Structure 1
Amino acid sequence: MLAVAGGLAGCETVIPRKTSVYQNEQFKSDETFSRLFDAEPDDTCEAARRALLSQGYVINTLKPDLVNGSKRFQPEGEVHVEISFTVVCTPEGRSGKVSTAYVSAMQDRYALKKSANSASLGLPALGSLSIPLSASDDSLVKVASETIPAGQFYDRFFTLMHRYLRESVGDSRQQQRATTAALVPQPLPTPPLPAAAASVPAAAGPAATAASAPGATDH
């Protein structure tokens, strides 16, 4: 019996322990969940709002420093996917002219759950009979949820944000120039010049008097 017990002990297999998910969090400084923008926080979040709207996202929350939007997909017949974006804009430095946009996208996966209703009818000879009704209480049940990892997905979004930010900054600068030009005082109109001296009758001089005297002749 001791030999059998020893043999069984030798046959035991060690199951490796799975690594916890949080162990994969490295907290590296080069993660691309954030990007620095040469603009104030409200302008940066406005660019994020326009970027989401241009791609068909519905804006759920809008604040000067926060934007949240979502979009739904149906990759399969009974599978639905919803992507939710959250953008937070924070100022950098004392001037506040530079800001950082922190972006996180969540992907939720839903499956269609069908539950047909039925009604029972009581019959004297057959007893109780269950008849399915045509109506059904179909519902979507969340089966998975995860944060989209850093990578090209966020890089494309940041590139689109940069584009809208350049356009909005250009429009604001043009508007600022137009406002400045309107505030600059315009020069007063130049008064008209006085009439020419030739139009004013001149006083007769001695030569004219002598020429007009009676008996005057040319020599």
Structure 2
Amino acid sequence: MWRRFLILVAPCGLAACAGWPAATAPLHGYQPERFDGEAYVRHVKFDPARACEAARRALLSQGYVVGTAQAEQVSGRKYFQPSPEHHVQLEFRVVCASKADDADAAVVFVSGLREQYIVRKIKESASLGVGGLGSLSLPVEGSMDSMVKVASETVTDAALYERFFELLGTYLDRVDVPGRRTPQAQSPERLS
């Protein structure tokens, strides 16, 4: 009985082991985390809503399409096409958190995500079959193009974040938060 059991189970066990990868896939270009937050964070003397409104305007001024704009979070995307077959999306996410010890100050966190796509072309040919006569292959070719994501990575260029924070600083001093009115602002008059 044990012999029959082993004869049945051994091939299944060997087949299961054959499907396991020999080793993990290598990480090409991977940089181990340093957990150095200096490039991704700044402390500002403005409340979180004002800081995120300044971040929204900074992204808009550089051609980013703003997808999410809330009081304490903003995200925007920008699209590039370095070559006809290569597409790149750069997304910035900005989170504005209030400081624990000062309600009128904020900590601004920013991270960038770069996604790269290539165009994959698929060739197709047509064939026609007629019952009783056989099949006829036509030399008509078509192709379908599809975008395939080939890379997705967090942007680690400290100079890029430095330029963003410099631009953010120019908007912090001159931005008003939507919904808040300054004392000088007047409401529009109603036409009668």
Q: Which residue of 2 is the match for residue 58 of structure 1?
A: 65
Match runs of 1:136-175 below 5 Å: 136-168=143-175, 175=182
**Deviations along 1:108-165, whole A, 9 cap, x unmatched?**
010001113322123788843143344x321110001111104110000111110011
- 88 and 110 in structure 1: CA distance in 2 versus 1, 3 angstrom threshold: same
Structure-2 separation of matches of 1:62 and 1:19: 34
**Deviations along 1:159-204, whole A, 9 cap, x unmatched?**
11100111126xxxx943x37xxxxxxxxxxxxxxxxxxxxxxxxx
Q: Which residue of 1 is the match for residue 21 of structure 2?
A: none
1:73 to partner: Cα distance: 0.1
Match runs of 1:10-29 below 5 Å: 24-29=32-37
CA contact (8 A) 2:127 2:135 kept: no
Structure-1 separation of matches of 2:129 and 2:54: 65
Q: Does 1:132 align with 2:143?
A: no
- 144 and 23 in structure 1: CA distance in 2 versus 1, 3 angstrom threshold: closer
- 144 and 20 in structure 1: CA distance in 2 versus 1, 3 angstrom threshold: closer
Q: Does 1:97 align with 2:104?
A: yes
CA contact (8 A) 1:116 1:132 kept: no
Q: Which residue of 2 is the match for residue 214 of structure 1?
A: none
The RMSD of aligned alpha carbons is 2.6
Match of 2:45 among 14, 38, 42: 38
Structure 2 length normalisation: TM-score? 0.71
Secondary structure in structure 1 of the residue aligned to 2:175: helix
Q: Which has the higher contact order (CA 8 A, sep 6+)?
A: 2
Q: Which residue of 2 is the match for residue 202 of structure 1?
A: none
Structure-1 separation of matches of 2:81 and 2:165: 25
Structure with greater strand share of residues: 2
Q: Which residue of 1 is the match for residue 92 of structure 2?
A: 85
Secondary structure in structure 2 of the residue aligned to 1:73: strand
Indicate the structure (1 or 2) with the bigger Cα radius of gyration. Answer: 1
Match runs of 1:170-209 below 5 Å: 175-176=182-183, 178=184
Which segment drifts farther, 105-114 or 20-29? 20-29
Structure-1 separation of matches of 2:31 and 2:167: 33
Match of 1:111 among 114, 118, 127: 118
- 117 and 20 in structure 1: CA distance in 2 versus 1, 3 angstrom threshold: closer
Structure with greater helix share of residues: 1
Percent identical across equivalent pairs?
Answer: 39
Secondary structure in structure 1 of the residue aligned to 2:50: helix
1:94 to partner: Cα distance: 3.4
Structure-1 separation of matches of 2:85 and 2:30: 32
Unpaired runs of at least 5, structure 1: 1-17, 180-219
Which segment drifts farther, 140-149 or 125-134? 125-134
Unpaired runs of at least 5, structure 2: 1-25, 186-192
